């Protein structure tokens, strides 16, 4: 496939992406363009492929076929002459410095204190000056409301605090795209809000975000576009008002009914 | 009938015991000096090497782990010189045999320790753009070490105990010394009681040092 000029303006272009684990096809041909500054929520039942799709964007999963472009650069492949070869360790590393990722299970480095968790990327990957990196890490901690925990170790933090540190760790790399993989799913209900607030602020600042989430209200509030996936396919996509209020597909309606019923139950 | 214990003759030549204990420690230290770097290389080759190298390492590790140490020691002392024309002293033969086998165990220990680090840690490190070498050095090894170090001690204890087998090739370590003393004094019960105590003191001291070391490094998790 050629690389049309529009790709440079697109943050992410996914075209005819297939992904299989063994004989199981998890993504069955996904096409998706994400513009600069856009916030896209991926919703759908578990097993629908939304997390796998997210992980293909920064190549934590290899692609079975199809293509992913990030800022016009093909992900997971490099061109040598007129042939595409698999990306090398260093190519992937360089690409990932520009894409932040937040995991469901936080994945903070347990042997490092909070400040070091945040600084380690800028210092060891971007070769930033240590003092500068520390000052910026402190500023990020301030921003997520955890400056007083700089010297604490991850195990001493609540889940919500750990996830806020994880967001700060990703932001320290100054990424131009943030991927959130069910960032609040592992949290106790009373801790979800503090993490969503940080994500909300980030959205307000104009960060391009792809968000896999079960928090429908949040998806409605921050996204420009909601994408409903099921069985490895995009079933429905559109502005949140449309997808949530008047979904065109029966499968979307059934899913939303089930999820919203559960959420209503939780409130009462 | 009660046995009349008499340790006088057995401990008379205490300098000899000290030398023998020194030789035991020396052969263990030499074997470990061979085993640790070799084990690391084997583990790295098995985890990150190309397929043929991985198979070779798997074969080596399986062979070494299923070999009787006593046979290895005898083989390196008697068979190796005949096959390769290189004579090994008893010390060298024991060092090589114990070292090569311990390297196989240590390689597996390292591999298990590294694999036990949660996949999320690898992914988080990759996600912030770390290359494999940086990730291993800063994120994976430090966490694997916490699992490896406590088990490494039991491996060291095995090496110390295994070194007693070097007695069969007349290397002058503790067990060989015991057999000499026993023959000279006709006091086998006292002799082997003494040598058992010396092994206990050595291994127990090593164990205390190891836990002190663990605490110092903050491996309390």
pLDDT for position A6:
57
- Lowest-confidence pick of A35-49, B6-20, B24-38, B52-66: B6-20
Report the C-alpha dihedral over residues A79, A81, A83, A85, rounded to 10 degrees.
-40
The C-alpha atoms of residue A39 and residue A12 are separated, in whole angstroms, by 12
Average pLDDT, chain B: 93
- Banded model confidence at residue B220, pLDDT cuts 50, 70, 90: very low
CA A175 and chain centroid, separation: 11
pLDDT for position B218:
65
pLDDT for position B216:
77
Residue A35, φ and ψ in degrees, nearest 5: -85, 165
- Banded model confidence at residue B93, pLDDT cuts 50, 70, 90: very high
- Least Cα separation, residue B216 to chain A (angstroms): 15
| B113 chain-A contacts, CB cut-off 8 A | none
pLDDT for position A7:
52
pLDDT in tens, B38-59: 999 999 999 989 999 999 999 9
The C-alpha atoms of residue A210 and residue A140 are separated, in whole angstroms, by 21
Q: What is the ipTM of this complex?
A: 0.92
The C-alpha atoms of residue A177 and residue A171 are separated, in whole angstroms, by 10
| B128 chain-A contacts, CB cut-off 8 A | 96-97, 100, 120-121, 125, 169-170, 173
A127 pLDDT above the threshold of 50: yes
Is the CB of residue B122 less than 8 Å away from at least one CB of chain A?
no
A238 pLDDT above the threshold of 70: yes
pLDDT for position A266:
60
pLDDT for position B219:
55
Instruction: Tell me if A93 and B131 make a contact (CB, 8 A cut-off).
Output: yes
Token pair 């921050």 in the structure block, residue: A222
B212 pLDDT above the threshold of 90: no
Q: Provide the number of CB pairs (under 8 Å) joining chain A to chain B.
A: 66
DSSP annotation string for A85-130: EEPPHHHHHHHHTTEEEE-TT----TTS-HHHHHHHHHHHTS---H
Mutate to test the interface with A, among B124, B135, B143, B147 (most CBs of A within 10 A): B124
The residue of chain A with its CA nearest to that of B124 is: A107
| B146 chain-A contacts, CB cut-off 8 A | 111
pLDDT in tens, A89-111: 999 999 999 999 999 999 999 99
Token pair 């809000």 in the structure block, residue: A193
The C-alpha atoms of residue A223 and residue A245 are separated, in whole angstroms, by 14
Please state the rounded mean pLDDT for residues B173-198: 94
A8 pLDDT above the threshold of 70: no
- Tokens describing residue A261: 């019923």
* Domains (range + CATH), chain B: 8-217 (1.10.3720.10)
């Amino acid at each position: 496939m050629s690389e049309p000029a529009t790709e440079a303006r697109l943050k992410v272009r996914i075209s005819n992406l297939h992904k299989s684990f063994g004989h199981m096809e998890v993504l069955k041909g996904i096409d998706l363009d994400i513009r600069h500054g856009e916030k896209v929520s991926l919703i759908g039942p578990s097993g629908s492929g939304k997390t796998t799709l997210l992980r293909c964007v920064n190549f934590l999963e290899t692609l079975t076929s199809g293509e992913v472009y990030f800022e016009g650069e093909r992900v997971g492949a490099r061109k040598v002459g007129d042939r595409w070869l698999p990306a090398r360790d260093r190519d992937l590393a360089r690409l990932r410095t520009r894409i932040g990722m937040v995991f469901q299970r936080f994945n903070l480095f347990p042997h490092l204190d909070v400040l070091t968790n945040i600084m380690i990327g800028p210092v060891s990957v971007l070769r930033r000056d240590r003092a500068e990196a520390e000052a910026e890490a402190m500023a990020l901690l301030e921003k997520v409301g955890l400056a007083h925990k700089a010297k604490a170790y991850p195990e001493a933090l609540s889940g919500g605090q750990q996830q806020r540190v994880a967001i700060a760790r990703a932001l320290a790399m100054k990424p131009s795209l943030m991927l959130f993989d069910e960032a609040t799913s592992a949290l106790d209900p009373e801790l979800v809000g503090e993490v969503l607030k940080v994500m909300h602020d980030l959205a307000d600042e104009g960060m391009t975000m792809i968000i896999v989430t079960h928090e429908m209200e949040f998806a409605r509030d921050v996204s420009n576009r909601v994408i409903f996936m099921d069985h490895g396919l995009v079933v429905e996509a559109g502005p949140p008002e449309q997808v949530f209020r008047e979904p065109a597909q029966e499968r979307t309606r059934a899913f939303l009914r089930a999820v919203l019923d559960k959420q209503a139950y939780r409130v009462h | 009938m009660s046995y009349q214990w008499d340790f006088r003759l057995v401990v008379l030549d205490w300098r000899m015991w000290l030398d023998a204990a020194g030789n035991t420690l020396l052969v263990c230290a030499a074997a470990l000096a061979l085993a640790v770097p070799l084990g690391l290389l084997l583990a790295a080759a098995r985890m990150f090497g190309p397929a043929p190298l991985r198979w070779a390492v798997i074969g080596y590790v399986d062979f070494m782990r299923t070999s009787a140490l006593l046979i290895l020691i005898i083989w390196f002392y008697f068979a190796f010189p005949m096959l390769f024309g290189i004579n090994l002293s008893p010390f060298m033969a024991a060092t090589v045999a114990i070292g090569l086998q311990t390297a196989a165990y240590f390689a597996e220990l390292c591999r298990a320790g590294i694999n036990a680090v949660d996949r999320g840690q690898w992914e988080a490190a990759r996600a912030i753009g770390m290359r494999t070498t940086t990730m291993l050095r800063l994120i994976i090894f430090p966490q694997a070490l916490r699992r490896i170090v406590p088990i490494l001690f039991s491996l060291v204890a095995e090496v110390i105990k295994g070194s007693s087998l070097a007695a069969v090739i007349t290397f002058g370590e503790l067990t060989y010394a015991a057999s000499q003393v026993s023959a000279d004094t006709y006091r086998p019960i006292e002799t082997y009681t003494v040598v058992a105590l010396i092994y206990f003191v050595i291994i127990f001291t090593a164990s205390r040092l190891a836990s002190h070391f663990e605490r110092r490094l903050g491996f309390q998790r």
